[in-house]
Structure 1
Amino acid sequence: MTPPPPGPTLPEELLLLALDPQRGRPYCRNRFLEYATAGAALAELELQGWITEERGQAQLVKPLEPPDPLLATLTRSLPAPGKGRRGSGVSATRLVRQAGRQVAGLYLDSLVQRGVLRRETHRFLGLLPYHRHPVVAKDLAAQVRERFAAAERAGFPDHRSRALAALVSAAGLSRFVGTDRTSRAAMRHLIREQWPAHAVHRNVRRDRANQSGGGQRVRRAARGTTVNGA
Protein backbone atom coordinates (compact mmCIF):
# COMPACT_ATOMS: atom_id res chain seq x y z
CA MET A 1 0.00 0.00 0.00
CA THR A 2 1.26 3.47 -0.89
CA PRO A 3 0.75 6.09 1.86
CA PRO A 4 -1.25 9.21 0.97
CA PRO A 5 0.92 11.81 -0.74
CA PRO A 6 1.97 14.91 1.25
CA GLY A 7 0.94 17.15 -1.63
CA PRO A 8 -1.97 17.16 -4.09
CA THR A 9 -3.76 13.91 -4.82
CA LEU A 10 -3.99 12.57 -8.35
CA PRO A 11 -7.41 14.18 -9.06
CA GLU A 12 -6.06 17.53 -7.88
CA GLU A 13 -2.90 17.20 -9.94
CA LEU A 14 -4.93 16.26 -12.99
CA LEU A 15 -7.16 19.32 -12.65
CA LEU A 16 -4.18 21.65 -12.23
CA LEU A 17 -2.64 20.20 -15.39
CA ALA A 18 -5.92 20.35 -17.30
CA LEU A 19 -6.93 23.96 -16.60
CA ASP A 20 -5.54 26.99 -18.39
CA PRO A 21 -4.03 28.89 -15.43
CA GLN A 22 -5.10 32.31 -16.73
CA ARG A 23 -8.44 31.69 -18.43
CA GLY A 24 -9.55 28.87 -16.17
CA ARG A 25 -10.99 26.74 -18.96
CA PRO A 26 -10.01 23.10 -19.49
CA TYR A 27 -7.76 22.18 -22.38
CA CYS A 28 -10.10 19.27 -23.20
CA ARG A 29 -13.86 18.85 -23.30
CA ASN A 30 -15.57 19.28 -19.95
CA ARG A 31 -17.04 15.79 -20.10
CA PHE A 32 -13.65 14.23 -20.81
CA LEU A 33 -12.20 16.07 -17.83
CA GLU A 34 -15.01 14.72 -15.65
CA TYR A 35 -14.19 11.17 -16.74
CA ALA A 36 -10.48 11.73 -16.11
CA THR A 37 -11.06 13.20 -12.64
CA ALA A 38 -13.12 10.16 -11.64
CA GLY A 39 -10.43 7.91 -13.10
CA ALA A 40 -7.78 9.80 -11.12
CA ALA A 41 -9.78 9.27 -7.93
CA LEU A 42 -9.89 5.52 -8.67
CA ALA A 43 -6.13 5.53 -9.30
CA GLU A 44 -5.53 7.35 -6.01
CA LEU A 45 -7.70 4.85 -4.15
CA GLU A 46 -5.74 2.00 -5.70
CA LEU A 47 -2.40 3.58 -4.80
CA GLN A 48 -3.53 4.01 -1.20
CA GLY A 49 -4.68 0.39 -1.03
CA TRP A 50 -8.45 0.90 -0.78
CA ILE A 51 -9.53 -0.70 -4.05
CA THR A 52 -8.33 -3.17 -6.63
CA GLU A 53 -9.43 -4.21 -10.10
CA GLU A 54 -10.31 -7.59 -11.53
CA ARG A 55 -11.59 -8.17 -15.05
CA GLY A 56 -12.67 -4.58 -15.45
CA GLN A 57 -14.44 -4.48 -12.09
CA ALA A 58 -13.42 -2.01 -9.37
CA GLN A 59 -13.58 -3.70 -5.97
CA LEU A 60 -13.18 -2.48 -2.40
CA VAL A 61 -10.64 -4.35 -0.32
CA LYS A 62 -11.20 -2.59 3.02
CA PRO A 63 -14.45 -2.41 5.00
CA LEU A 64 -13.84 1.14 6.26
CA GLU A 65 -14.03 4.36 4.28
CA PRO A 66 -10.80 6.23 3.47
CA PRO A 67 -10.15 9.27 5.68
CA ASP A 68 -10.21 11.58 2.66
CA PRO A 69 -13.90 12.59 2.39
CA LEU A 70 -13.70 13.17 -1.36
CA LEU A 71 -12.29 9.70 -2.01
CA ALA A 72 -14.83 8.26 0.43
CA THR A 73 -17.64 9.60 -1.75
CA LEU A 74 -16.50 7.38 -4.62
CA THR A 75 -16.05 4.25 -2.49
CA ARG A 76 -19.72 4.46 -1.48
CA SER A 77 -20.56 3.48 -5.05
CA LEU A 78 -18.84 0.12 -4.53
CA PRO A 79 -20.20 -2.94 -2.70
CA ALA A 80 -18.56 -3.68 0.63
CA PRO A 81 -15.89 -6.42 0.62
CA GLY A 82 -17.45 -9.84 1.04
CA LYS A 83 -20.91 -8.70 -0.05
CA GLY A 84 -22.57 -10.49 -2.93
CA ARG A 85 -20.90 -13.11 -5.03
CA ARG A 86 -17.17 -13.59 -4.96
CA GLY A 87 -15.31 -11.12 -7.10
CA SER A 88 -18.29 -8.79 -7.37
CA GLY A 89 -17.60 -5.15 -8.01
CA VAL A 90 -18.64 -2.33 -10.31
CA SER A 91 -17.60 -1.87 -13.91
CA ALA A 92 -14.80 0.69 -13.88
CA THR A 93 -15.98 2.08 -17.21
CA ARG A 94 -19.54 2.54 -15.96
CA LEU A 95 -18.37 3.99 -12.65
CA VAL A 96 -16.23 6.61 -14.39
CA ARG A 97 -19.14 7.56 -16.61
CA GLN A 98 -21.75 7.75 -13.85
CA ALA A 99 -19.60 9.39 -11.17
CA GLY A 100 -17.52 11.73 -13.33
CA ARG A 101 -19.62 14.86 -13.00
CA GLN A 102 -20.09 14.52 -9.24
CA VAL A 103 -16.44 13.71 -8.56
CA ALA A 104 -15.12 16.56 -10.71
CA GLY A 105 -17.56 18.97 -9.07
CA LEU A 106 -16.47 17.95 -5.59
CA TYR A 107 -12.78 18.39 -6.37
CA LEU A 108 -13.32 21.75 -8.07
CA ASP A 109 -15.39 22.92 -5.09
CA SER A 110 -12.62 21.80 -2.73
CA LEU A 111 -9.88 23.58 -4.69
CA VAL A 112 -11.96 26.77 -4.77
CA GLN A 113 -12.68 26.59 -1.03
CA ARG A 114 -8.97 26.15 -0.29
CA GLY A 115 -8.00 29.12 -2.44
CA VAL A 116 -6.17 27.07 -5.08
CA LEU A 117 -8.65 28.06 -7.80
CA ARG A 118 -11.05 30.97 -8.25
CA ARG A 119 -14.56 30.40 -9.60
CA GLU A 120 -15.89 32.80 -12.22
CA THR A 121 -19.46 32.50 -13.44
CA HIS A 122 -20.23 33.50 -17.02
CA ARG A 123 -23.35 33.21 -19.14
CA PHE A 124 -23.59 31.73 -22.61
CA LEU A 125 -25.63 34.06 -24.83
CA GLY A 126 -26.46 35.93 -21.65
CA LEU A 127 -28.63 33.06 -20.42
CA LEU A 128 -26.98 29.74 -19.58
CA PRO A 129 -24.46 29.94 -16.70
CA TYR A 130 -21.11 28.19 -16.84
CA HIS A 131 -17.97 28.36 -14.72
CA ARG A 132 -14.30 29.06 -15.30
CA HIS A 133 -11.59 28.25 -12.74
CA PRO A 134 -8.43 30.38 -13.05
CA VAL A 135 -5.52 29.31 -10.86
CA VAL A 136 -4.86 31.39 -7.75
CA ALA A 137 -2.09 29.25 -6.24
CA LYS A 138 0.23 29.64 -9.21
CA ASP A 139 3.25 28.28 -7.33
CA LEU A 140 1.40 25.03 -6.59
CA ALA A 141 0.27 24.67 -10.20
CA ALA A 142 3.85 25.29 -11.39
CA GLN A 143 5.14 22.62 -9.00
CA VAL A 144 2.65 20.11 -10.38
CA ARG A 145 3.78 20.83 -13.93
CA GLU A 146 7.44 20.66 -12.95
CA ARG A 147 6.93 17.27 -11.26
CA PHE A 148 5.12 15.97 -14.33
CA ALA A 149 7.92 17.20 -16.61
CA ALA A 150 10.56 15.60 -14.36
CA ALA A 151 8.67 12.30 -14.39
CA GLU A 152 8.40 12.52 -18.16
CA ARG A 153 12.16 13.04 -18.52
CA ALA A 154 12.71 10.00 -16.30
CA GLY A 155 10.32 7.87 -18.34
CA PHE A 156 7.51 7.90 -15.74
CA PRO A 157 9.44 5.59 -13.38
CA ASP A 158 6.83 4.97 -10.64
CA HIS A 159 3.21 3.88 -10.42
CA ARG A 160 1.90 7.33 -9.47
CA SER A 161 3.54 9.12 -12.40
CA ARG A 162 2.47 6.37 -14.84
CA ALA A 163 -1.12 6.58 -13.60
CA LEU A 164 -1.19 10.37 -14.06
CA ALA A 165 0.47 10.22 -17.48
CA ALA A 166 -2.03 7.62 -18.69
CA LEU A 167 -4.98 9.71 -17.46
CA VAL A 168 -3.59 12.83 -19.13
CA SER A 169 -3.34 10.94 -22.40
CA ALA A 170 -6.78 9.31 -22.08
CA ALA A 171 -8.43 12.72 -21.66
CA GLY A 172 -6.60 14.19 -24.67
CA LEU A 173 -4.42 16.52 -22.61
CA SER A 174 -0.94 15.30 -23.46
CA ARG A 175 -0.16 17.96 -26.08
CA PHE A 176 -0.93 20.71 -23.55
CA VAL A 177 1.54 19.66 -20.86
CA GLY A 178 4.75 20.16 -22.79
CA THR A 179 5.30 16.62 -24.05
CA ASP A 180 7.01 15.78 -27.33
CA ARG A 181 5.79 13.23 -29.86
CA THR A 182 7.83 10.38 -28.37
CA SER A 183 6.50 11.03 -24.88
CA ARG A 184 2.93 11.27 -26.13
CA ALA A 185 3.28 7.87 -27.76
CA ALA A 186 4.66 6.41 -24.54
CA MET A 187 1.77 7.90 -22.58
CA ARG A 188 -0.75 6.33 -24.98
CA HIS A 189 0.81 2.93 -24.33
CA LEU A 190 0.44 3.48 -20.59
CA ILE A 191 -3.35 3.60 -20.99
CA ARG A 192 -3.35 -0.16 -21.57
CA GLU A 193 -1.36 -0.71 -18.37
CA GLN A 194 -3.40 1.56 -16.09
CA TRP A 195 -6.98 0.33 -15.69
CA PRO A 196 -8.48 3.65 -14.43
CA ALA A 197 -7.09 5.41 -17.50
CA HIS A 198 -8.36 2.61 -19.71
CA ALA A 199 -11.87 3.15 -18.28
CA VAL A 200 -11.56 6.88 -19.06
CA HIS A 201 -10.33 6.12 -22.57
CA ARG A 202 -13.28 3.83 -23.28
CA ASN A 203 -15.75 6.56 -22.30
CA VAL A 204 -13.93 9.22 -24.32
CA ARG A 205 -13.86 6.92 -27.33
CA ARG A 206 -17.59 6.16 -26.92
CA ASP A 207 -18.46 9.88 -26.81
CA ARG A 208 -16.38 10.62 -29.88
CA ALA A 209 -17.98 7.75 -31.78
CA ASN A 210 -21.46 8.93 -30.82
CA GLN A 211 -20.66 12.46 -31.90
CA SER A 212 -19.24 11.24 -35.19
CA GLY A 213 -22.31 9.08 -35.79
CA GLY A 214 -24.62 11.97 -34.99
CA GLY A 215 -22.81 14.22 -37.42
CA GLN A 216 -22.99 11.53 -40.08
CA ARG A 217 -26.76 11.17 -39.60
CA VAL A 218 -27.23 14.92 -39.97
CA ARG A 219 -25.17 15.02 -43.17
CA ARG A 220 -27.03 12.08 -44.70
CA ALA A 221 -30.38 13.47 -43.69
CA ALA A 222 -29.47 16.69 -45.45
CA ARG A 223 -28.90 14.65 -48.61
CA GLY A 224 -32.32 13.02 -48.24
CA THR A 225 -31.04 9.61 -47.06
CA THR A 226 -30.84 7.75 -43.78
CA VAL A 227 -27.92 6.02 -42.09
CA ASN A 228 -28.92 2.60 -43.39
CA GLY A 229 -29.33 3.94 -46.88
CA ALA A 230 -33.11 3.46 -47.03
Structure 2
Amino acid sequence: MSLTMPEELLLLMLDDESGRLTDRATPAGDYALIGAMLAELALEERIDTDPPRLRVKSAAPTGDAVLDGVLARIAAEREPRDSRWWVETLAGDVETYRNAYFERLVQRGILKSEEGRFLWFFSERRYPVISDKEEREVKARLMSIIFEDGPPSARDSLLIGLTRAAGLFPLLLAPGELERAQPRIEAVSRHEALNKTISDAVRDIFIEVARYAPVM
Protein backbone atom coordinates (compact mmCIF):
# COMPACT_ATOMS: atom_id res chain seq x y z
CA MET A 1 0.00 0.00 0.00
CA SER A 2 1.33 3.45 -0.91
CA LEU A 3 2.03 5.98 1.79
CA THR A 4 -0.44 8.80 2.24
CA MET A 5 0.70 12.40 1.91
CA PRO A 6 0.63 12.98 5.71
CA GLU A 7 2.81 9.89 6.21
CA GLU A 8 5.29 11.03 3.56
CA LEU A 9 5.45 14.48 5.11
CA LEU A 10 6.10 13.02 8.57
CA LEU A 11 9.01 10.97 7.24
CA LEU A 12 10.51 14.15 5.78
CA MET A 13 10.19 15.88 9.17
CA LEU A 14 11.67 13.04 11.22
CA ASP A 15 15.28 12.83 12.34
CA ASP A 16 16.14 9.25 11.40
CA GLU A 17 18.58 8.57 14.24
CA SER A 18 16.89 10.23 17.21
CA GLY A 19 13.35 9.41 16.12
CA ARG A 20 12.27 12.95 17.00
CA LEU A 21 10.74 15.59 14.78
CA THR A 22 13.38 18.07 13.66
CA ASP A 23 13.25 21.52 15.25
CA ARG A 24 12.24 22.94 11.88
CA ALA A 25 9.14 20.74 11.84
CA THR A 26 7.15 22.92 14.26
CA PRO A 27 4.97 24.89 14.17
CA ALA A 28 4.86 25.05 10.38
CA GLY A 29 5.08 21.28 10.11
CA ASP A 30 1.97 20.92 12.26
CA TYR A 31 0.00 23.10 9.88
CA ALA A 32 1.51 21.32 6.88
CA LEU A 33 0.39 17.94 8.27
CA ILE A 34 -3.18 19.24 8.52
CA GLY A 35 -2.84 20.65 5.01
CA ALA A 36 -1.73 17.22 3.77
CA MET A 37 -4.82 15.63 5.30
CA LEU A 38 -7.09 18.16 3.60
CA ALA A 39 -5.19 17.62 0.35
CA GLU A 40 -5.83 13.87 0.57
CA LEU A 41 -9.54 14.50 1.07
CA ALA A 42 -9.56 16.84 -1.92
CA LEU A 43 -7.74 14.32 -4.12
CA GLU A 44 -10.26 11.68 -3.01
CA GLU A 45 -13.06 14.00 -4.24
CA ARG A 46 -14.48 14.34 -0.73
CA ILE A 47 -14.00 18.10 -0.32
CA ASP A 48 -13.70 21.16 -2.52
CA THR A 49 -11.26 23.80 -1.28
CA ASP A 50 -12.03 26.60 -3.74
CA PRO A 51 -12.31 30.01 -2.06
CA PRO A 52 -14.15 31.49 -0.31
CA ARG A 53 -15.07 28.31 1.57
CA LEU A 54 -14.21 24.67 1.93
CA ARG A 55 -17.18 22.37 1.37
CA VAL A 56 -17.94 18.66 1.45
CA LYS A 57 -18.56 17.12 -1.97
CA SER A 58 -19.14 13.60 -0.70
CA ALA A 59 -19.39 12.29 2.85
CA ALA A 60 -18.70 8.71 1.72
CA PRO A 61 -15.95 7.09 3.86
CA THR A 62 -12.47 6.90 2.33
CA GLY A 63 -11.45 3.83 4.33
CA ASP A 64 -8.82 5.86 6.19
CA ALA A 65 -9.99 6.23 9.80
CA VAL A 66 -8.09 9.48 10.39
CA LEU A 67 -9.31 11.15 7.21
CA ASP A 68 -12.86 9.92 7.75
CA GLY A 69 -12.88 11.51 11.21
CA VAL A 70 -11.77 14.82 9.73
CA LEU A 71 -14.34 14.53 6.93
CA ALA A 72 -17.13 13.95 9.46
CA ARG A 73 -15.95 16.97 11.43
CA ILE A 74 -16.03 19.18 8.34
CA ALA A 75 -19.47 17.89 7.37
CA ALA A 76 -20.82 18.71 10.84
CA GLU A 77 -19.75 22.38 10.66
CA ARG A 78 -22.80 24.50 9.83
CA GLU A 79 -21.02 27.78 9.11
CA PRO A 80 -19.10 28.13 5.82
CA ARG A 81 -15.35 28.11 6.51
CA ASP A 82 -12.31 28.55 4.31
CA SER A 83 -9.18 26.37 4.12
CA ARG A 84 -7.19 28.59 6.47
CA TRP A 85 -9.86 28.33 9.17
CA TRP A 86 -9.84 24.54 8.91
CA VAL A 87 -6.03 24.32 8.97
CA GLU A 88 -5.91 26.44 12.12
CA THR A 89 -8.84 24.65 13.78
CA LEU A 90 -7.70 21.10 13.05
CA ALA A 91 -4.16 22.00 14.17
CA GLY A 92 -5.54 22.07 17.71
CA ASP A 93 -5.68 18.26 17.53
CA VAL A 94 -2.52 17.79 15.47
CA GLU A 95 -0.83 15.67 18.15
CA THR A 96 -3.63 13.12 17.97
CA TYR A 97 -3.47 12.99 14.17
CA ARG A 98 0.33 12.84 14.15
CA ASN A 99 0.43 9.99 16.66
CA ALA A 100 -2.12 8.04 14.64
CA TYR A 101 0.06 8.30 11.53
CA PHE A 102 3.20 7.45 13.48
CA GLU A 103 1.54 4.29 14.82
CA ARG A 104 0.50 3.38 11.30
CA LEU A 105 4.11 3.69 10.15
CA VAL A 106 5.14 1.50 13.09
CA GLN A 107 2.60 -1.16 12.11
CA ARG A 108 4.03 -1.16 8.57
CA GLY A 109 7.55 -1.80 9.89
CA ILE A 110 8.92 1.56 8.72
CA LEU A 111 9.42 3.03 12.21
CA LYS A 112 9.73 1.61 15.70
CA SER A 113 8.28 3.13 18.84
CA GLU A 114 10.53 3.79 21.84
CA GLU A 115 9.84 5.37 25.21
CA GLY A 116 12.54 7.71 26.43
CA ARG A 117 13.31 10.74 28.55
CA PHE A 118 13.70 14.38 27.59
CA LEU A 119 15.95 16.50 29.86
CA TRP A 120 16.02 13.48 32.23
CA PHE A 121 12.60 14.28 33.68
CA PHE A 122 10.00 14.29 30.91
CA SER A 123 8.87 11.12 29.21
CA GLU A 124 8.65 11.13 25.43
CA ARG A 125 7.96 8.72 22.62
CA ARG A 126 10.44 8.52 19.77
CA TYR A 127 10.12 6.87 16.37
CA PRO A 128 13.53 5.79 15.00
CA VAL A 129 13.57 4.55 11.43
CA ILE A 130 13.76 0.80 10.81
CA SER A 131 13.55 0.92 7.02
CA ASP A 132 14.56 4.10 5.20
CA LYS A 133 13.43 2.72 1.84
CA GLU A 134 10.15 4.64 1.84
CA GLU A 135 11.79 7.91 2.93
CA ARG A 136 14.47 7.60 0.26
CA GLU A 137 11.81 6.95 -2.36
CA VAL A 138 9.86 10.07 -1.32
CA LYS A 139 13.00 12.23 -1.42
CA ALA A 140 14.10 10.77 -4.77
CA ARG A 141 10.67 11.44 -6.27
CA LEU A 142 10.70 15.04 -5.09
CA MET A 143 14.25 15.62 -6.32
CA SER A 144 13.43 14.19 -9.75
CA ILE A 145 10.53 16.63 -10.07
CA ILE A 146 12.52 19.61 -8.84
CA PHE A 147 15.53 19.01 -11.08
CA GLU A 148 13.61 17.96 -14.19
CA ASP A 149 11.23 19.93 -16.39
CA GLY A 150 8.33 17.48 -16.69
CA PRO A 151 4.88 18.32 -15.31
CA PRO A 152 4.32 16.99 -11.78
CA SER A 153 1.29 15.00 -10.72
CA ALA A 154 -1.29 16.79 -8.60
CA ARG A 155 -0.20 14.78 -5.55
CA ASP A 156 3.49 15.57 -5.99
CA SER A 157 2.78 19.24 -6.66
CA LEU A 158 0.82 19.40 -3.40
CA LEU A 159 3.53 17.58 -1.45
CA ILE A 160 6.19 19.97 -2.77
CA GLY A 161 3.95 22.94 -1.96
CA LEU A 162 3.43 21.72 1.61
CA THR A 163 7.13 20.91 2.04
CA ARG A 164 7.91 24.44 0.89
CA ALA A 165 5.23 25.96 3.13
CA ALA A 166 6.65 24.10 6.15
CA GLY A 167 10.17 25.32 5.39
CA LEU A 168 11.56 21.80 5.10
CA PHE A 169 13.59 22.12 1.91
CA PRO A 170 16.75 23.28 3.76
CA LEU A 171 16.73 19.80 5.33
CA LEU A 172 16.71 18.17 1.90
CA LEU A 173 19.01 20.38 -0.17
CA ALA A 174 22.39 22.03 0.37
CA PRO A 175 22.25 25.86 0.34
CA GLY A 176 23.61 26.14 -3.21
CA GLU A 177 21.25 23.47 -4.52
CA LEU A 178 18.30 25.11 -2.80
CA GLU A 179 19.12 28.49 -4.34
CA ARG A 180 19.26 26.97 -7.83
CA ALA A 181 16.09 24.95 -7.28
CA GLN A 182 14.02 27.76 -5.76
CA PRO A 183 12.41 28.97 -9.03
CA ARG A 184 11.40 25.41 -9.93
CA ILE A 185 10.03 24.77 -6.42
CA GLU A 186 7.93 27.91 -6.69
CA ALA A 187 6.68 26.94 -10.16
CA VAL A 188 5.77 23.39 -9.15
CA SER A 189 4.02 24.68 -6.03
CA ARG A 190 1.83 26.83 -8.25
CA HIS A 191 1.16 24.05 -10.76
CA GLU A 192 -1.76 22.56 -8.83
CA ALA A 193 -4.76 24.78 -8.10
CA LEU A 194 -5.23 23.19 -4.66
CA ASN A 195 -1.90 24.71 -3.60
CA LYS A 196 -3.43 28.15 -3.89
CA THR A 197 -5.76 27.35 -1.00
CA ILE A 198 -4.14 24.64 1.12
CA SER A 199 -0.37 25.20 0.85
CA ASP A 200 -0.74 28.97 0.77
CA ALA A 201 -2.96 28.81 3.87
CA VAL A 202 -0.25 26.84 5.67
CA ARG A 203 2.44 29.31 4.64
CA ASP A 204 0.39 32.36 5.58
CA ILE A 205 -0.32 30.97 9.05
CA PHE A 206 3.36 30.12 9.60
CA ILE A 207 4.46 33.61 8.54
CA GLU A 208 1.95 35.14 10.94
CA VAL A 209 3.06 32.87 13.81
CA ALA A 210 6.74 33.63 13.14
CA ARG A 211 6.04 37.35 13.09
CA TYR A 212 4.73 37.32 16.66
CA ALA A 213 7.06 34.65 18.06
CA PRO A 214 9.36 35.90 20.85
CA VAL A 215 12.98 36.47 19.88
CA MET A 216 15.28 34.05 21.69
Quick check: TM above 0.5? yes
Shift of 1:133: 1.9
Shift of 1:107: 1.1
Task: Measure the CA separation in 1 of the matches of 2:110 and 2:61.
Answer: 26
Structure 1 residues 160-197: Cα deviation after superposition (integer angstroms, max 9, x where no partner):
11100010011110121235313234334526950211
Equivalent in the alignment of 2:81: 90
User: Bigger relative contact order, structure 1 or 2, given CA contacts below 8 A and separation 6+?
Assistant: 2
Identity of aligned residues (%): 25
Shift of 1:23: 2.4
Structure 1 residues 39-69: Cα deviation after superposition (integer angstroms, max 9, x where no partner):
1111111112111113253211003222211
Equivalent in the alignment of 1:77: 73
Task: Measure the CA separation in 1 of the matches of 2:112 and 2:31.
Answer: 22
Task: Measure the CA separation in 1 of the matches of 2:69 and 2:21.
Answer: 24
Distance 1:145 1:90, change over 3 A: same
Find the partner of 2:180 among 182, 191, 195. 182
Task: Measure the CA separation in 2 of the matches of 1:118 and 1:184.
Answer: 34
- TM-score norm. by structure 2 comes to 0.82
Structure 1 residues 83-107: Cα deviation after superposition (integer angstroms, max 9, x where no partner):
85xxx54332232223231322221
Task: Measure the CA separation in 1 of the matches of 2:42 and 2:134.
Answer: 24
Equivalent in the alignment of 1:149: 143
C-alpha RMSD of the superposition: 2.4
Contact map agreement 1:135 1:141 (CA 8 A) in 2: no
Contact map agreement 2:59 2:72 (CA 8 A) in 1: no
Distance 1:163 1:119, change over 3 A: same
Which amino acid is the alignment partner of residue 31 of structure 1? P
Distance 1:41 1:26, change over 3 A: same
SS in 2 for 1:129: strand
Q: Which has the higher helix share?
A: 2
Q: Which structure 2 residues correspond to residues 58-137 of structure 1 after superposition, within 5 A?
A: 58-79=54-75, 84=78, 89-100=80-91, 101=94, 102-137=96-131
Task: Measure the CA separation in 1 of the matches of 2:101 and 2:25.
Answer: 17
SS in 1 for 2:167: coil
SS in 2 for 1:105: helix
Task: Measure the CA separation in 1 of the matches of 2:15 and 2:89.
Answer: 26
The structure that has the greater radius of gyration is 1
Q: Say which is worse superposed, 54-63 or 183-192, in terms of deviation.
A: 183-192
Task: Measure the CA separation in 1 of the matches of 2:73 and 2:82.
Answer: 11
Which amino acid is the alignment partner of residue 187 of structure 1? I
Q: Which structure 2 residues correspond to residues 4-43 of structure 1 after superposition, within 5 A?
A: 6-27=1-22, 28-43=24-39
Q: Say which is worse superposed, 32-41 or 129-138, in terms of deviation.
A: 129-138
Give structure 1 stretches of 5+ with no counterpart: 1-5, 217-230
Aligned residues: 204
Which amino acid is the alignment partner of residue 11 of structure 1? P
- TM-score norm. by structure 1 comes to 0.78
Find the partner of 1:57 among 53, 56, 66. 53
Contact map agreement 1:115 1:137 (CA 8 A) in 2: yes
